[in-house]
């Protein structure tokens, strides 16, 4: 694959779109919009996976694409929407770092990701380099979202978006063995996490299961 | 099916059986029996020639850990059988606990035996999921809190590790075939020719990812609470086994990066993490009021020491690190048995509520006292040997870092002594129930002393075969 | 012989294990103590044999995971077996005599292990084995210090003790590491092949001083001694003071004179001399102020360890300045004082134990007049006291004479700064010796002379049998060693040759000499001279004076007569422990130990009594229990802020680590 | 033959020292009295006192132990032994090889300890007070003594008193600042050791200040005689010591024939007389100092001694 080829361009485009959606996630102020943006990102990821399956002639990746679409494009967003509705959560995103600064930090992280990948010699194929830079950016933005947003839902979505970055990296590498298994396993982890959020009915933040009981146990300060 | 997989699936089959067993008493026995079976299988595996086989491999590096891990698994199961009634489980939770225990043991063993880094990652993920559920099993707010923190932080950690794994493959991809891909053996073979910059990136993420699981500062925040809130046996296996598996994963990554002369030297990173862990833990130990959290912090310190040893590199320091991991697994689980049992007797795990154990419960009190001495690096236990080796190498190669490390260790030692005397000496605090009848009382103390005995044996009279294995392994890590 | 000694170590360790079930039996304790007493005898035999025979080495069939444990017996280690054996033998005998019925296992089981650890340290021929023995000795003695753990002060002592032990062990490991220089081979034979130079040598010495010094009680790492000794059972304190500190000095000597090689500069001895002098003065001064018999004796141990350290430092300096004969003189002083101190300090601690047993107190202010109730103990103690006060012709004087001779010759090293420093050290050594004499007078006078200060002291009972022999034996040895130091120096000759490559000036069996043709000390003629003079006085007095005495009441110095409920007189009418120490507390204590006195006078007309508050504090101990923990807690409190983080903030830490790592990689890639 | 002479000289020396001790004390007292304008007791009065005391039966406290009985003999014996070792009119006497300075200091310490213990035996407040002060002062005097000895030992190369005296007499050491400083230090030590003014007052029983007398308050009869005699001997031996080192002129050399002894004896008598005069003058001229000023007095002596040693290092370039 080289520049100018359709395979490459489309893969690159889809990867870029996933990254763009990460920025959209950071930009949104309302929970509902965040969930929708995440669904969009999941769908784009599924598309990227499907395209890679086609390009690499790896039928297993179709399964990954299907799972990604099913879980992240449809089911998890629906579950989160329901949760927001039923628990009557705040509809706005509370930020620890404002939207503007988050965006700037995000751009900085993308720059960092590129700088970190840059030293890779030309021996590694360009696609892989670009691909890894994109995926790394998505991962970092996901983490950024986790630590700069106060709402539980936003934080979970940050984690899920981080995981999207992983899958993006995995599908981009030609011949990656076990890619389906790994992506599935990662998905299981994420689903378990979402299930945890929903079961524990975590309303405000991931920190808080029941704020009242914490002081005695965790702090050990008397 | 090769024996490696037999062990893993033996445990998982045991998990299925245990999940279906309604009678808690029977389940404890079956649990111990399954663990005994695993231990025997691990011994049998030692007898077979070491080889790579599919996704798994047996080599000098992982077999000592498999042996120790199944041994600790067995003694923990025995301790668990003796004291489980103290945890006050209903039969559902008992089922969940036992099933999770065996799922964890299977996954843990698989993580150690895995040759394929992807399989290793999956195994560690399963182990994490199993332990999260075990930490939460008491369903108190604190337990939920601890489990949740554990879950989130380690979830992110292993996500990072997966990213590292993928990048690692990317680095080696032009040189690998689909069949051998992600195999550690194959990666080691081509490591020297891989793209160094990509390798660096991979190492960074593997170190941070598995380092989170190993509890290295600043990725450690989950560890103290997770160790303190689950049932007692879980603290023992978390500290004794899971940390080792994570550290072994770091070592596997380090050996690959280390094999490439153009990539970054992995040593300084490990040194930095190790030193940070020791220093922070040494200070944090002074602020603890909860006995189990105290020893959880001590685990952070010891992982830091091991990381420091591996960071130093070279056969001598690596041997020290391996010995330290093994010694820590044995001794720290003994400490958790002791302190957990004491907490059951006193009805509280606050240090202030436990006191004078040697006067009222000599076997337990002295066992705990000796175990804490052992964890503090007193002879003739294996941790003494490993710390001796580590410091005698470090003093010559990195004197200032060695002195800084020593400063941290002295601070930690003083804290350990203070707590040892607070728990074991002085005027006994009143018991609040928690007595065990007949054989259970004995069976709850035997694991402590057994571990200490083994630790002494490894410290000053290690079987030649094992010593040779570890020495070879120390050279493999590089 | 070495094989037999190695077996002895094994047997002692096994005895420790067997002692747990034995402790419950009536005769179990006697068996264990008797066996250790015999082991002490064996150690002395082993030491003498090792000095007479050549060196031998032995590789054990087990050891650390990377090689065998190595043992060796050479003259230096053989010499240190002598104080160890004598101390252990006497202490074992004392405990044997004092044991009636079952003893708590925690008091019995660590005892043989303690002894085994010390022997192993001395026999070790590689770093690991040495540390194994060293730390085993520390841990076992810690258990003994903590045996009466219901008392908070004992727990504090045990904590401090074990902390110092761990610190010391760590320093020694680092010293071995620096010495081995990365090769990681810590066998002594390999270490000797690569002697350190310059900064490395200084680093090794500093680490050894911190490591072995903290165990030996060299200032400023001496503070655990006065805490730990009173907490341990008497026979254990005797061995801790008499033998264990010597084992630490052995480690020091082994490093400085053997492993570091002979080609070291003279200034390497300077820190030893300086710290030795400081220990000597601090120890002796504290011995004058402490009010507990065992604490007093422990402080006196600090003083004597300081003197021995000075001897070692001088030997090091002389060797570096290529003055072998003087080096041998200083080393001889150190070795001889090691042996002498081991014997008389063991004796004195056993006396303190006997007094504790008989009069049920260690406090000077609760004793008194015991010479009437415990005459054998008193006279045996007097031998030890006189030796500790370095009075001729007892053993302490002989070795301190040698030390002073070495100090007086130290100007020959040449360097003007060294000369000035050593002149000051000479003054300090003399000060310490005289302070020790004052402390010993205070000890013996307050315990055995005067009137009983409590009814319990008045009703004290003396042990008979083995416990008494355990006092008489070292008392006799103190006299014998004092009269025949020449014999001991002859015996020490191979050890001196190993240390400094030369032998002490030969002066025959009945004398010791400063140098060829220099001053001599002849103990036996001196003893005869004094005896003759006393005999003359007796003869003259007998001839001229009437026999017999008139007995009357003691003059009450103007105090009112004691009321009838004070059958032994008014205790306040006798000098108290604090009162006896007052002159020195005012003269020296204020400067060195922060001693203070405050008088609170009631206003005129008030009926309140005037109060005199006096006290002192060892500055090192105050620092260890004051500012150091405060700094530690302050830093820990800062570190603890990490712990108050929420999960999100913890993730922030992870995130920060990732970003930092990536930035680092990017930077590394760019460069 | 030389052996016989040395033995004879030694015996003569012993007799001389034993006999001269009470006389010297008497002379000093007499001189002091004269200087203060009193007539003073006969110089032989101390000897008469001794004989009188010997004839009296001692009174002992009920709870006195064997220490009270034995200590006077030991103290007197130690003082005698020390006095025997300090050369007077001749060098190279039979006991010359024994006469080590540090040994002499040790023997004096032996006597001091015996006295302190005797003071504590009965358990009276004064006895303990005296013992405590005596041992404390000695602790401060000892370093000054040893530092002064350091200067001597550097110059003579040995601590043997006989050899030092010989070296100072035979080799032309000349006048040295160091020696002067050492002498001042030694003099201060001598004053302290002998319980003289300004450290202690040998003729006072004022309880606040006394040291030496406090310890022997309980002694009487023959015991008191022994204590007094030991004190006289100590004074004699210190003056003899100072004379032997700093005024070596006229001493009979080792192995010399008896005719030299006459010269030596005469010179010694003159020297001792001079020193006694000096001591008396010194004591008459100054007042007793407070007890807790003694450390400063002895500290100054120590510093002077140290200064002497250091000057020696510098001036002679002993490298």
The pLDDT score that the predictor gives to residue D174 is: 60
Q: Give the DSSP H/E element, type plus range, for residue A133.
A: helix A126-148
**DSSP state string for D266-280:** HHHHHHHHHHHHHHH
Mean pLDDT of D286-314: 88
Name the minimum distance, in Å, from the CA of A215 to any CA of chain B.
9
Q: What's the domain count of chain B?
A: 1
Span of B414-418, C182-186, C369-373 with lowest mean pLDDT: C182-186
Structural domain including A160 reads: 6-203
In this structure, are residues A127 and A175 in contact, taking their beta carbons and an 8 Å threshold? no
SS3 string of C384-435? HHHHHCCCCCCHHHHHHHHHHHHHHCHHHHCCHHHHHHHHHHHHHHHHHHHH
Residue A140 lies inside a defined structural domain of this protein: yes
User: How many Å lie between the alpha carbon of A115 and the closest alpha carbon of chain C?
Assistant: 5
The per-residue pLDDT for C505 is: 75
Gyration radius from chain C CA atoms: 27
Q: What is the distance between the alpha carbons of residues B94 and B137, in angstroms, rounded to a whole number?
A: 9
Q: If pLDDT is split at 50, 70 and 90, which confidence band does A212 have? A: very low
- Total domains in chain D come to 1
Domain residues for the domain of D41 are: 2-316
Does residue B22 lie in a domain region? Answer: no
Q: How many A-C residue pairs are in contact by the CB < 8 A criterion?
A: 53
Q: Measure B51 CA to nearest chain A CA, in Å.
A: 21
Q: Alpha helix (H) ranges present in B347-438?
A: 357-360, 362-375, 382-397, 399-424
CB A67 within 8 A of CB A183: yes
Per-residue pLDDT tens digits for D53-76: 999 999 998 889 999 999 999 999
CA distance C225 to C214: 9
- For residue B70, count other CB atoms closer than 10 A to its CB: 27
User: Cα(A54)–Cα(A46) distance, rounded to whole angstroms?
Assistant: 12
Task: State what percent of residues in chain A have pLDDT above 70.
Answer: 83
Closest-CA distance, C389 to chain D, in angstroms, reads 9
Is A45 at the interface with chain B, CB within 8 A? no
Nearest chain C CA: its distance from A17 CA (Å): 23
- Tell me whether residue A214 is in a domain: no
What does the pLDDT profile of chain B (478 residues) look like in tens digits?
A: 789 999 999 999 999 999 998 888 899 999 999 999 999 999 999 999 998 888 899 999 999 999 999 999 999 999 999 998 888 888 888 999 999 999 999 999 999 999 999 999 999 999 999 999 888 888 888 888 888 889 889 999 999 999 999 888 888 887 877 667 788 988 998 888 888 888 899 999 999 999 999 999 899 989 998 998 889 999 899 988 999 999 999 999 999 999 988 888 899 999 999 999 999 999 999 989 999 999 999 999 999 999 999 999 889 999 999 999 999 999 999 999 999 999 999 988 899 999 999 999 999 999 999 999 999 999 899 999 999 999 999 998 899 999 999 999 999 999 999 999 999 999 999 988 888 888 888 999 999 999 999 999 999 999 999 999 999 999 988 7
How far is the alpha carbon of C641 from chain A, nearest alpha carbon, in Å? 10
Tell me if B20 is assigned to some domain.
Answer: no
Nearest CA in chain C to B153: C651
Mean pLDDT, residues C570-595: 86
Output the pLDDT for position D209: 64
CA C616 vs CA B101, C625, D135: distances in Å: 59, 15, 20
Residues of B in contact with C62 (CB under 8 A): 460-461
**Shortest CA gap A180–chain C (Å):** 26
Residue D100: strand pairing partners: D160
For residue B205, the chain C residues in CB contact (below 8 A) are 658
Taking every pair of Cα atoms in chain D, the longest distance, rounded to a whole number of angstroms, is: 62
Record: contact D109-C434, CB cut-off 8 A: yes
D8 near C CB under 8 A: no
| A residues 130-169 closer than 8 Å to B (CB) | 132, 135-136, 139, 143, 146, 159, 162-163, 165-166, 169
In this complex, which of D55, D127, D139 lies closest to C434 when CB atoms are compared?
D139
Flag whether A83 is in a domain. Answer: yes
Kindly report the backbone phi and psi dihedral angles of residue B201, in degrees, each rounded to the nearest multiple of 5, phi listed first. Answer: -60, -45
Could you tell me the residue range of the domain that residue B379 belongs to? 266-478
CB atoms A182 and B122 under 8 Å: yes
Listed in sequence order, the DSSP H helices in D36-85 are 45-55, 66-85
How far is the first Cα of chain B from the last one, in angstroms, to the nearest whole number? 32
CB atoms within 10 A of CB D292: 12
B466 vs D208, which has greater pLDDT? B466
Q: What pLDDT is stored for residue A1 in this prediction?
A: 45
Contacts of C164 in chain B (CB under 8 A): none
How far is CA A19 from each of CA A12, A25, A191, rounded to the nearest angstrom? Answer: 11, 10, 22
Least confident of B363-367, C17-21, C155-159, C606-610: C606-610
Q: Residue C464 pLDDT more than 80?
A: yes
Chain A residues in contact with B161 (beta carbon < 8 A): none
Residue of C nearest to A156 (CA): C648
Q: Which among A96, A119, A221 has the least Cβ separation from residue C669?
A: A119
In terms of CA atoms, which chain A residue is nearest residue C664? A116
The whole-number average pLDDT for the span C507-525 is 85
Helix (H) or strand (E) holding D60: strand D59-61
Question: Can you give the pLDDT at residue B176?
Answer: 77
Q: Do chains D and C touch (3 or more CB pairs under 8 A)?
A: yes
The answer for C 198-217 residues in CB contact with D (under 8 A) is none
**Chains with 3 or more CB pairs closer than 8 angstroms to C?**
A, B, D
Which pairing describes strands C512-513 and C520-521: parallel, antiparallel, or unpaired? antiparallel
Selecting from C644, C655, C666 the residue whose C-beta is nearest the C-beta of A219 gives C644
A199 part of contact set with chain B, CB < 8 Å: no
* Chain B interface includes A123 (CB < 8 A): yes
For C534, the closest of D77, D101, D126 (CB atoms) is D77
Label the pairing between strands D59-61 and C550-552. parallel
Is B240 a domain residue? no
Q: Cβ contacts (< 8 Å) between C529 and chain D: which residues?
A: 81, 84, 95, 98
As beta bridge partners, residue B114 has B56
pLDDT greater at residue C103 or residue C306: C306
DSSP assigned state of C573: G
Tell which D residues from 145 to 164 touch C, by Cβ distance under 8 Å. Answer: 145-147, 149-150, 153-154, 157-160, 163
């Amino acid at each position: 694959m080289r520049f100018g080829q359709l395979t490459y361009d489309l893969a690159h485009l889809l990867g870029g779109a996933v990254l763009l959606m990460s920025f959209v996630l950071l930009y949104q102020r309302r929970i509902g919009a965040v969930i929708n943006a995440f669904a969009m990102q999941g769908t784009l990821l599924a598309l990227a996976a499907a395209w890679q399956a086609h390009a690499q002639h790896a039928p297993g990746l179709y399964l990954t694409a299907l799972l990604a679409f099913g879980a992240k494009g449809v089911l998890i967003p629906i579950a989160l929407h329901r949760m927001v509705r039923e628990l009557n959560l705040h509809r706005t995103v509370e930020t620890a770092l404002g939207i503007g600064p988050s965006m700037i930090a995000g751009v900085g992280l993308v720059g960092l990701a590129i700088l970190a990948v840059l030293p890779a010699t030309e021996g590694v194929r360009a696609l892989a380099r670009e691909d890894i830079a994109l995926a790394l950016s998505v991962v970092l933005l996901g983490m950024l979202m986790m630590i700069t947003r106060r709402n539980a839902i936003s934080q979970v979505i940050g984690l899920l978006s981080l995981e999207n970055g992983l899958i993006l990296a995995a599908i981009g590498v030609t011949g990656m063995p076990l890619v389906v298994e790994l992506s599935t396993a990662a998905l299981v982890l994420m689903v378990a996490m979402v299930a945890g959020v929903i079961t524990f009915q975590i309303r405000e933040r991931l920190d808080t299961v029941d704020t009242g009981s914490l002081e005695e146990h965790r702090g050990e300060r008397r | 099916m090769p024996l490696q997989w037999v062990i893993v699936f033996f445990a998982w089959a045991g998990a299925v059986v245990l999940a279906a067993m309604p009678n808690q008493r029977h389940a404890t026995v079956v649990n111990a029996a399954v663990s005994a079976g695993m231990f025997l299988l691990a011994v049998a595996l030692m007898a077979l020639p070491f080889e790579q086989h599919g996704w798994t491999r047996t080599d000098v590096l992982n077999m000592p850990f498999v042996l120790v891990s199944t041994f600790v698994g067995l003694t923990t199961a025995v301790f668990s059988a003796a004291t489980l009634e103290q945890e006050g489980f209903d039969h559902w939770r008992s089922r969940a606990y036992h099933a999770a225990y065996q799922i964890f043991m299977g996954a843990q063993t698989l993580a150690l035996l895995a040759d394929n880094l992807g399989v290793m990652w999956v195994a560690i993920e399963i182990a994490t999921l199993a332990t999260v559920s075990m930490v939460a099993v008491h369903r108190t707010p604190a337990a939920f809190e601890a489990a949740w923190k554990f879950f989130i932080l380690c979830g992110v950690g292993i996500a990072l590790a997966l990213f590292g794994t993928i990048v690692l493959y990317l680095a080696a991809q032009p040189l690998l075939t689909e069949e051998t891909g992600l195999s550690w053996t194959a990666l080691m073979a081509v490591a020297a020719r891989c793209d160094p910059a990509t390798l660096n990136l991979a190492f960074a993420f593997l170190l941070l990812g598995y380092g989170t699981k190993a509890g290295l500062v600043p990725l450690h925040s989950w560890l103290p609470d997770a160790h303190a809130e689950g049932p007692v046996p879980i603290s023992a296996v978390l500290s004794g086994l899971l940390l080792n598996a994570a550290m072994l994963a770091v070592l596997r990554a380090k050996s690959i990066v280390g094999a490439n002369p153009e990539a970054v030297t992995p040593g300084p990173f490990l040194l930095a993490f190790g030193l940070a862990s020791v220093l922070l833990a040494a200070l944090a130990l002074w602020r603890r009021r909860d006995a189990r959290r105290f020893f959880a912090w001590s685990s952070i310190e010891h992982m830091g020491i091991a990381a420091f040893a591996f960071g130093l590199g070279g056969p001598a320091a690596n041997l020290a690190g391996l010995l330290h991991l093994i010694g820590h697994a044995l001794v720290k689980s003994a400490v958790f048995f002791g302190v957990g049992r004491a907490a059951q007797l006193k009805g509280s795990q606050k240090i202030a509520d436990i006191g004078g154990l040697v006067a009222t419960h000599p076997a337990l009190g002295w066992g705990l006292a000796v175990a804490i001495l052992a964890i503090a690096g007193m002879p003739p236990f294996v941790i003494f040997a490993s710390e001796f080796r580590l410091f005698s190498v470090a003093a010559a190669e990195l004197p200032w870092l060695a002195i800084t490390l020593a400063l941290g260790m002295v601070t930690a030692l003083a804290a350990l002594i203070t707590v040892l005397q607070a728990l074991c000496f002085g005027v006994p605090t009143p018991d609040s129930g928690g007595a065990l009848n007949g054989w259970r009382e004995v069976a709850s103390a035997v694991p402590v002393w057994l571990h200490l005995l083994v630790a002494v044996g490894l410290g000053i009279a290690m079987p030649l075969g094992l010593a040779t294995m570890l020495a070879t392994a120390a050279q493999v890590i590089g | 012989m070495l094989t037999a000694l190695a077996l002895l170590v094994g047997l002692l360790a096994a005895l420790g294990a067997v002692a747990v079930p034995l402790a419950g039996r009536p005769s179990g304790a006697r068996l264990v103590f008797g066996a250790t007493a015999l082991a002490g005898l064996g150690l002395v035999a082993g030491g003498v044999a090792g000095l007479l025979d050549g060196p031998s080495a032995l590789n054990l069939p087990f050891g650390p995971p990377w090689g065998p444990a190595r043992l060796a017996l050479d003259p230096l280690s053989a010499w240190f077996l002598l104080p160890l054996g004598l101390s252990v033998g006497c202490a074992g005998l004392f405990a044997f005599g004092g044991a009636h019925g079952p003893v708590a296992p925690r008091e019995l089981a660590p005892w043989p292990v303690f002894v085994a650890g010390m022997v192993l340290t001395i026999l070790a021929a590689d770093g690991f084995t040495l540390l194994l023995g060293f730390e085993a000795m520390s841990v076992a003695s810690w258990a003994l210090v903590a045996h009466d753990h219901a008392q908070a002060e004992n727990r504090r002592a045990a904590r401090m003790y074990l902390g110092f032990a761990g610190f010391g062990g760590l320093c020694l490991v680092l010293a071995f590491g620096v010495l081995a220089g990365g090769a990681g081979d810590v066998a002594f034979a390999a270490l000797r092949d690569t002697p350190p130079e310059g900064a490395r040598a200084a680093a090794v010495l500093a680490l050894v001083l911190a490591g072995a010094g903290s165990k030996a009680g060299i200032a400023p790492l001496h503070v655990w001694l006065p805490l730990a000794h009173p907490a341990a059972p008497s026979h254990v304190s005797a061995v801790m003071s008499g033998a264990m500190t010597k084992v630490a000095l052995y480690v020091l000597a082994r490093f400085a004179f053997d492993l570091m090689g002979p080609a070291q500069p003279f200034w390497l001895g300077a820190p030893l001399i300086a710290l030795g002098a400081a220990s000597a003065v601090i120890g002796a001064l504290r011995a004058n102020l402490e009010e507990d018999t065992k604490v007093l004796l422990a402080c006196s141990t600090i003083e004597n360890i300081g003197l021995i350290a000075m001897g070692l430092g001088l030997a090091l300096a002389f060797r570096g300045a290529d003055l072998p004969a003087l080096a041998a003189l200083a080393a001889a002083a150190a070795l001889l004082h090691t042996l002498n101190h081991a014997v008389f300090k063991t004796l004195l601690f056993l006396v303190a134990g006997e007094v504790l047993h008989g009069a049920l107190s260690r406090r000077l202010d609760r004793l008194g007049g015991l010479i009437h109730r415990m005459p054998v103990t008193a006279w045996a103690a007097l031998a030890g006291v006189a030796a500790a006060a370095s009075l001729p012709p007892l053993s302490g004087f002989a070795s301190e004479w040698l030390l002073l001779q070495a100090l007086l010759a130290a100007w020959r090293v040449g360097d003007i700064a060294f000369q000035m420093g050593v002149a000051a050290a000479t003054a300090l050594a003399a000060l310490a010796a005289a302070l020790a004499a004052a402390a010993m007078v205070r000890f013996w006078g307050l315990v055995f002379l005067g009137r009983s200060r409590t009814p319990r002291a008045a009703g004290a009972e003396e042990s008979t049998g083995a416990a008494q022999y355990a006092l008489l034996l070292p008392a006799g040895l103190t006299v014998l060693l004092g009269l025949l130091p020449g014999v001991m120096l002859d015996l020490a000759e191979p050890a001196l040759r190993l240390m400094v490559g030369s032998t002490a000036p030969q002066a025959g069996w009945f004398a010791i000499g400063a140098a060829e043709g220099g001053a001599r000390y002849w103990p036996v003629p001196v003893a005869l001279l004094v005896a003759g003079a006393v005999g003359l006085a007796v003869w003259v007095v007998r001839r001229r004076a009437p026999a017999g005495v008139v007995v009357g009441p003691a003059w009450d110095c103007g105090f009112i007569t004691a009321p009838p409920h004070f059958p032994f007189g008014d205790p306040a009418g006798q000098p108290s422990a604090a009162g006896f120490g007052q002159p020195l507390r005012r003269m020296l204590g204020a400067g060195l130990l922060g001693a203070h006195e405050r008088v609170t006078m009631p206003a005129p007309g008030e009926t309140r009594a005037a109060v005199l508050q006096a006290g002192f504090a060892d500055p090192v101990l105050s620092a260890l229990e004051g500012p150091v923990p405060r700094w530690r807690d302050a830093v820990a409190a800062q570190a603890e802020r990490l712990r108050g983080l929420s999960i999100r903030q913890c993730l922030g830490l992870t995130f920060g680590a990732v970003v930092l790592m990536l930035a680092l990689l990017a930077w590394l890639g760019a460069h | 033959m030389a052996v016989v002479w040395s033995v004879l000289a030694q015996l003569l020396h012993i007799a001389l020292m034993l006999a001269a001790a009470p006389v010297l004390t008497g002379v000093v007292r007499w001189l002091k009295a004269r200087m203060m304008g009193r007539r003073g007791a006969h110089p032989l009065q101390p000897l008469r006192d001794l004989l009188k005391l010997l004839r009296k039966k001692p009174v002992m406290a009920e709870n006195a132990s064997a220490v009270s009985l034995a200590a006077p003999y030991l103290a007197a014996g130690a003082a005698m032994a020390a006095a025997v070792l300090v050369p007077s009119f001749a060098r190279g006497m039979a006991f010359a090889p024994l006469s080590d300075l540090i040994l002499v200091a040790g023997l004096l310490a032996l006597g001091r300890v015996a006295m302190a213990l005797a003071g504590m035996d009965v358990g009276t407040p004064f006895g303990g007070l005296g013992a405590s002060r005596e041992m404390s002062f000695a602790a401060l005097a000892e370093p000054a003594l040893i530092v002064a000895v350091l200067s001597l030992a550097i110059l003579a190369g040995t601590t043997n008193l006989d050899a030092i005296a010989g070296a100072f007499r035979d080799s032309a050491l000349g006048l040295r600042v160091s020696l002067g400083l050492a002498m001042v230090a030694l003099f201060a030590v001598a004053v302290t050791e002998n319980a003289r003014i300004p450290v202690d007052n040998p003729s006072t029983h004022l309880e606040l200040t006394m040291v030496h007398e406090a310890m022997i308050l309980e002694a009487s009869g023959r015991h008191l005689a022994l204590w007094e005699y030991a004190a006289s001997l100590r004074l004699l031996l210190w003056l003899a010591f100072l004379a032997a080192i700093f005024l070596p002129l006229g001493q009979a050399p080792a192995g010399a024939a008896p005719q030299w002894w006459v010269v030596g004896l005469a010179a010694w008598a003159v020297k001792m007389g001079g020193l006694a005069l000096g001591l008396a003058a010194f004591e008459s001229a100054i007042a007793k100092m407070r007890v807790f000023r003694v450390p400063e007095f002895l500290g100054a002596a120590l510093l002077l001694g140290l200064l002497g040693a250091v000057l020696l290092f510098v001036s002679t370039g002993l490298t």
